[in-house]
Structure 1
Amino acid sequence: MTVSHFPLIQNLLTEALHSRNDNGDMPDGAGAVSSMSGELRTAARRLAKELGFDSATVGSSVLKSILACGAQHGPSMMVERYAQGFSGVEEAVEEAPQRHLAVLPEREAEQPSVQAAVSAGKQAVIQQMQELMAQALAPDNTASGITEKEVIALIETYAHKPAEKHIIVSLPGGKRDMGEKLVHEQFDSVLKAVAADVAVMLVGPAGSGKTTLCEQVAEALDLRFYFTGAVASEYKLSGFVDAQGRVVSTAFRDAYTNGGLFLFDEVDASMPQAIMAFNAALANGHCDFPGDTEPTKRHPDFRVIAAANTFGRGADRQYVGRNQLDAASLDRFIVVNMDYDNVLERALAGNRDWTKRVQRIRREIQKQQVRHIVSPRASIQGAKLLAAGFSVDEVLEATVWKGLDVDTKSRITAAISG
């Protein structure tokens, strides 16, 4: 591998080589590393983690070695050391065994082990790390013509963590290869917990992808997916017997009886009576469904996920129609915080510039504590509208602002433009 393989990297490195410290000499490694901004350090750690290396190894030691070589032997040797350093990184990654992000301990022979393997885009990650290192080589970004803002923009553009992963699942019947999937960053945690028969509560804002994640987990575990939204009475959950004496079943009843992954969406918007019946079925291992002559035992392949917009403590500023969950309900679940995944959002929308604008507006709305939701749907739907020929202003009004008052819009627009 050589730097010339990547024209943009080469240009940035060339500018970096013309940088000098106050004495006109090449900077030493320690000085350059200590001068890296917090955001660059964060990017370095993130990329190092994706490569599977300790952040100190890739984000500091390699950089120090390269810069120290340049300080002692001159820029040309630094270029060579730069290429050699990353050739070594690439070889180590290629030779390493396939890294698994989700592995379940097999306490019993029949228990499935779930493995989500890293996608094969290693070369792209190496290139992204080179991007970061080329930027870090310049101790004085202004002198080299590269501003701090431009550095961060390039990192955001080229050094993002891929959202796509190659999912491989090992079940008692054999391996299940799902291929490349765009998944939320919490996918691995939820997958492991559900496979271990642990009830999960996903807590996150509207549009964060909770339902999609649950469908993907069900597919990975080869389970049928069942779903219900907010429930107003226990009979909407457990079913009932109609006037003709026929049993009317529900998604929960079917999953509990026959096996499958059941998603109880908007559990914090459901009535307490329904939640009590739900809790009893989970706790007892059997349920008295209407029309049955004896309790129905819980199917061994029944798994459950609840989804909520709040942490079960009642309504907040954004979600006013939410009920408080009792301690017994909360105690039955592990809680997984499922916020918006910015990387996944960009991948799904396909329009990077538009998505970055939506995300900037969202951050500012949160910062100013405005009661207004801007979910990834604004990025995905907005990208489609832009591709169809709508203007940016039209798309902003339709997908982002959605009737927000003029003063608040002006305040947010001014803040993100500054």
Structure 2
Amino acid sequence: MFTNKNKIKEIVSEIIDEKILGVSKDIIEHIETGISSKELKQTLESMNIRQIEVPGIKKQHFLFEKVLKLIAKDFNVYLYSMPGTGKTYMAQEIAKALKLDFYFSGAILEPYKLIGFKSAKGDYIETDFYKCFKNGGLFLFDEMDASNPEALIIINAALANKFLDFPNGRVFAHEKFRLIGAGNTNGIDIGTGYTARQQLDIATLDRFIFLEMPYDEKLEERFSRGYINGKYYFDRFLMARRIVFNEKLPLICSTRSLILFKISSKWLYMKRSIWNDYFKECFT
């Protein structure tokens, strides 16, 4: 499945030439998965998709195309990162590109919140996972590393067998069922600060392609354009992030927070958010 960079460029160029993916060639360097255009085309046609419409490629994280191709080919992807890199947004945009309904769940602490349950009257109460599994769609299972291990065992079985026994009976996975997992850890090394996380078992690790999703600073820089003093505060935002990382401070300078500042046009809020003795030099 994986191949060298020159072969990747050939494959991606072929895909672009066939207009399967409407993307520009300047993103080729970010694509590392060597899935042939023929395989991808067959997969998309089986989903009744003749052409993927990539929403605003310049507004996407640099991993977007790689994850898009993996999900289109029916690989299960687990994205891990610091908070606020845009994992949920990416999953929503991939669902749009693949013309799939989008479903979401945060950490699942009780298995019934994943598979549903029967009410006192005997009626089956559906969950988003049930609807997605049965009818097709893209399910984002966020905070997987903070979920009950019993819930992850259910996910493992569903992904391995392509069917699952729900309280109302056995259901086979829809051909358009896709799943993205996400968390703040890689499932092995929990790291400091993530006290509510836990290691994922080997069976779960084996069912996903794990991709680290770092902050995309080129994308963040584009977000900062067009605002008064945007470049000035963006440079200091990055300076603050470096200090947080180097000093291992319990603070987050995320893409989410940067976008929030941009949308609200309250760049000075960034001053108050991360202001302390470490950062005085950054904002004066």
Common topology (TM > 0.5): yes
How far is 1:109 from its partner?
Answer: 6.4
How far is 1:171 from its partner?
Answer: 7.0
How far is 1:413 from its partner?
Answer: 3.4
How far is 1:111 from its partner?
Answer: 1.7
- SS of 2:167's equivalent? coil
- TM-score, length of structure 1 as denominator length: 0.56
Larger Rg: 1
CA contact (8 A) 1:183 1:213 kept: yes
Gaps of 5+ in 2: 1-8, 10-23
1:289-328 alignment runs, 5 A limit: 289-292=166-169, 295-313=170-188, 315-328=190-203
1:189-243 deviation digits (Å, cap 9, x = unpaired): 1011111111000011110000000111111111111110000011111111111
- SS of 1:411's equivalent? coil
CA distance 1:377–1:285, change in 2 (3 Å): closer
How many residues were matched structurally?
A: 252
Letter paired with 2:194: Y
1:277-302 deviation digits (Å, cap 9, x = unpaired): 1111111111000122xx21111111
CA contact (8 A) 1:317 1:371 kept: no
CA distance 1:314–1:270, change in 2 (3 Å): farther
CA distance 1:222–1:266, change in 2 (3 Å): same
Residue 281 (str. 1) matches residue 158 (str. 2):
yes
Distance of 2:240 and 2:137 partners within structure 1: 39
2:231 to 338, 352, 355: 352
- SS of 2:121's equivalent? coil
1:104-115 alignment runs, 5 A limit: 104-105=35-36, 106-107=38-39, 110-112=42-44
2:106 to 229, 239, 256: 229
**Equivalent residue, structure 1, for 2:241:** 362
Moved over 4 A (4+): 170-173
- SS of 1:379's equivalent? helix
CA distance 1:112–1:357, change in 2 (3 Å): same
**Equivalent residue, structure 2, for 1:400:** 274
- Whichever structure has more helix as a proportion of its residues is 1
Distance of 1:199 and 1:236 partners within structure 2: 21
CA contact (8 A) 2:251 2:274 kept: no
2:56 to 160, 164, 180: 180
CA contact (8 A) 2:156 2:204 kept: yes
Distance of 1:248 and 1:172 partners within structure 2: 30
- SS of 1:112's equivalent? helix
- SS of 1:410's equivalent? coil
CA contact (8 A) 2:129 2:139 kept: yes
The percent of aligned pairs where both chains have the same amino acid is 35
Letter paired with 2:274: V
Distance of 1:379 and 1:176 partners within structure 2: 29
Letter paired with 1:370: L
1:19-418 alignment runs, 5 A limit: 99=25, 101=28, 104-105=35-36, 106-107=38-39, 110-112=42-44, 172-178=48-54, 180-181=56-57, 182-292=59-169, 295-313=170-188, 315-350=190-225, 351-385=230-264, 387=265, 392=268, 394-397=269-272, 399-401=273-275, 409-414=276-281, 416=282
CA distance 1:176–1:277, change in 2 (3 Å): closer
How far is 1:104 from its partner?
Answer: 4.1
CA distance 1:109–1:352, change in 2 (3 Å): closer
Distance of 1:108 and 1:265 partners within structure 2: 26
**RMSD over aligned Cα, in angstroms?**
2.7
CA distance 1:189–1:109, change in 2 (3 Å): closer
CA distance 1:412–1:223, change in 2 (3 Å): same
Higher relative CO (Cα under 8 Å, sequence separation at least 6) belongs to: 2
How far is 1:184 from its partner?
Answer: 0.3
CA distance 1:281–1:217, change in 2 (3 Å): same
